[in-house]
Every structure is written in C-alpha cells, then in structure tokens.
Amino acid sequence: MAHKPSLHPLVATYSIVARDPMTGDLGVATQSKFLAVGSIVPWAQARAGTVATQANANFTYGPNGLALLASGLTAEAVLQRLVEADPERAHRQVGIVDANGGSATFTGEACFAWAGGIAGPNFACQGNILVSADTVTAMADAFNNSNGPLAERLIAVLQAGQTNGGDRRGQQSAALLVARAGGGYGGNNDRYIDLRIDDHPQPIDELARILRLHRLLFEKALPEDCLPVTEQLATEIQNLLQEVGYYNGPLSGQINDETRTALEAWAGVENLEERLRSDDLIDPQVLEYLRVQATG
C-alpha cells in the first residue's frame, strides 16, 4: 500500500526516553541513518518529562508534549492527546516518560517495518525501519539490567540496540540529551548533558567518547573526592603553572591571589573552569590535567 506523502522528515531511528528514579534526571538517546538526528528527535525538560518524536516526525510533539507534561498530565494522557489531534498519526512514532516515571510509546500502523516499541517503569524504547524486533527488546533489557548515571546507561542502550540489528539502513548520527534542574552550564538552565554526533561512521562510539570528555571538562567533583591544598601541593601547582606559562611568581607554597588568577586563566583556556573551587581544595581531575600538560 502506498504511503501518503508527508511534509515531515522521515526519521528512521531507534530511541529511548527514560527517567533516573534516584536523581530525577530525564533523558533521551537516539541513533539513525539520518543527518543530525539530534536536531529532531530528542526533547526533555527537568521536572516535566521527556519525548522522542520520530518516523514521519511531527516536530510539535516535542514542545507540545513537554508543555502538557509540565502541566501535570501523565505520559499516557499526553500521548493520547498528541495522537488524537494528529490526522497523520498513522505515520508517527513517539515515546514519552513523565516526571514520575510513567511511560508510553506509540507506533502508527503506516510506519515502515520493522517498527514498534516497549514501555515500562521509567523508560520507553521504540524504533522504525529496524532489522527486527530484537533491537527494541535488547534496548529494553539493557536499560532494565543496568545501573549508574543515566547518560551512560542511555548510551549502553543504544549500543545494545545496534548490536542487535539497529537501523537496517546503517548508522550516521546519534544524540544524547539529559535534563536536570539547574544542571546546565553555570547552573542557569536544565541542559545537563546535550551532545550530538551529526555525521559519523560510528556515531554511538563517538557519542560515548564525547560524553567522557564532557565529564572531564564539566562534571564537578564532590568535596570528599577533592584534595586539600597543602604547602607541598601548592608549590607543585605553582611550578606546574610556570611550566605551562601562566605563573611568574615565587614558589611560595601558598595559593595566593596571583596563583589563583593564574590557575583560573589556565583553566579558562582549557575549559576546566567549572571544576575549579573557591576553597582550599582542588579537583584531582584538574590537577592531573595540569600535570599531564606541564610534562607532555
């Protein structure tokens, strides 16, 4: 049967929307043989929920779905409203998770095979133009059998989906979006992690690499994981800053204003400013990065 033409992009993809019950983080991860899938599929808002819109993707499902979730509606109720209002629903695929972990997934009957989804507590997995149902089954199993930070779990889910068939046309782009209240850069928004691989032969592996880099540059260490700046360590820091060309003062063994200014200037160039502290502690990742740079 011929499919009715649509003005919406055909995003053959697989995705997961999920909530971390420990932190309340809300996230989406997706992969597709489609350029820049992250510009279309993933939507998330802290304390509201998360949406993945795909197949003949209806962009309005993202912002409208988040607005409905923010109003307090459940994932199931939001899905019903979105789909019932869409005359092209037979061509749509969408997954939704609300802030309480309720989930829903929908696959229109006109989506290209294999197409379908699985929803459970705190997650919904879905895909279209897949090799088989094994992709979505493996994704659901990977989420249910994993622990740790939500971002790493979501990438593991994508990897499980790819290992078990994935998009039958191949790979091209991948994206990861995790929302956390105040979790964005500088604490001024909820975009805790927002990473996209727009065109790459192995986008999931590249996404995992970029996430590791994101953790290095922007993740703040807990106070108990930081090192007290003793006189010996302060002298080392001053010496290292001299080696990289940011400090010209004496090796006093004190983190004085001149030393702190030099450290801040170096960290700003290396994009490590989010890891700096204003007390007498130093993030071990910052120290190790400085050591490697000074000796490398």
- Looking at residue 124, its pLDDT comes to 98
Whole-model pTM: value is: 0.90
44 shares its domain with 133: yes
143 shares its domain with 233: no
Determine the average pLDDT of the residues in 233-255. Answer: 96
- Looking at residue 8, its pLDDT comes to 64
Residue 203, domain member (yes or no): yes
Q: Which residues, other chains included, contact 177 with Cβ-Cβ below 8 Å and sequence gap of 6+?
A: 27, 28, 29, 38, 42, 43, 44, 50, 191, 193, 194, 195
Number of domains in the chain: 2
Residue 120, domain member (yes or no): yes
Residue 2 pLDDT > 70: no
Residue 9 pLDDT > 80: no
Residue 10 pLDDT > 90: no
122 shares its domain with 18: yes
Residue 69 pLDDT > 90: yes
For tokens 């060309």, name the residue. 245
Contact 163, 135 (CB under 8 A): no
- Looking at residue 171, its pLDDT comes to 96
- Looking at residue 212, its pLDDT comes to 96
DSSP code string of the chain: -PPPP-SS-EE-EEEEEEE-TTT--EEEEEEESSTTGGGTSEEEETTTEEEEEEEE--TTHHHHHHHHHHTT--HHHHHHHHHHT-TTGGGEEEEEEETTS-EEEEE-TTSPSS-EEEEETTEEEEESSBS-THHHHHHHHHHHT--S-HHHHHHHHHHHHHHTT-BTT---EEEEEEE-TT-SGGGSSSEEEEEEE-S-SSHHHHHHHHHHHHHHHHPPPPGGGSEE--HHHHHHHHHHHHHTTS--S---SS--HHHHHHHHHHHHHTT-GGG--SSSEE-HHHHHHHHHHHH-
Average pLDDT of the chain to the nearest whole number: 95
pLDDT tens, 143-169?
999 999 999 999 999 999 999 999 999
Residue 56: Cβ within 10 Å count: 25
CATH number (domain holding residue 172): 3.60.20.10
213 shares its domain with 228: no
Angle at alpha carbon of residue 84, lines to 31 and 32, rounded to 5°: 10
Residue 163, domain member (yes or no): yes
pLDDT > 70: what percent of the chain?
Answer: 97
pLDDT tens, 89-116?
999 999 999 999 999 999 999 999 999 9
Residue 1 pLDDT > 60: no
171 shares its domain with 239: no
Contact 28, 72 (CB under 8 A): no
Residue 2, domain member (yes or no): no
Residue 5, domain member (yes or no): no
148 shares its domain with 246: no
One-letter amino acid of 70: A
261 shares its domain with 207: no
Residue 4 pLDDT > 70: no
Residue 50, domain member (yes or no): yes
Domain boundary among the residues 174, 198, 218 is at 218
Domain boundary among the residues 157, 192, 218 is at 218
CATH number (domain holding residue 248): 1.10.101
Residue 3, domain member (yes or no): no
24 shares its domain with 101: yes
Residue 6 pLDDT > 90: no
33 shares its domain with 154: yes
Token pair for 292: 């490697």
58 shares its domain with 105: yes
Token pair for 75: 């994932």
- Looking at residue 5, its pLDDT comes to 44
- Looking at residue 3, its pLDDT comes to 40
Residue 286, domain member (yes or no): yes
- Looking at residue 50, its pLDDT comes to 98
Residue 133 belongs to what domain range?
10-218
Task: Give CA–CA dist 231/36, Å, rounded.
Answer: 50
Task: Give CA–CA dist 260/258, Å, rounded.
Answer: 6
Domain boundary among the residues 183, 218, 253 is at 218
pLDDT tens, 174-212?
999 999 999 998 889 999 999 999 999 999 999 999 999
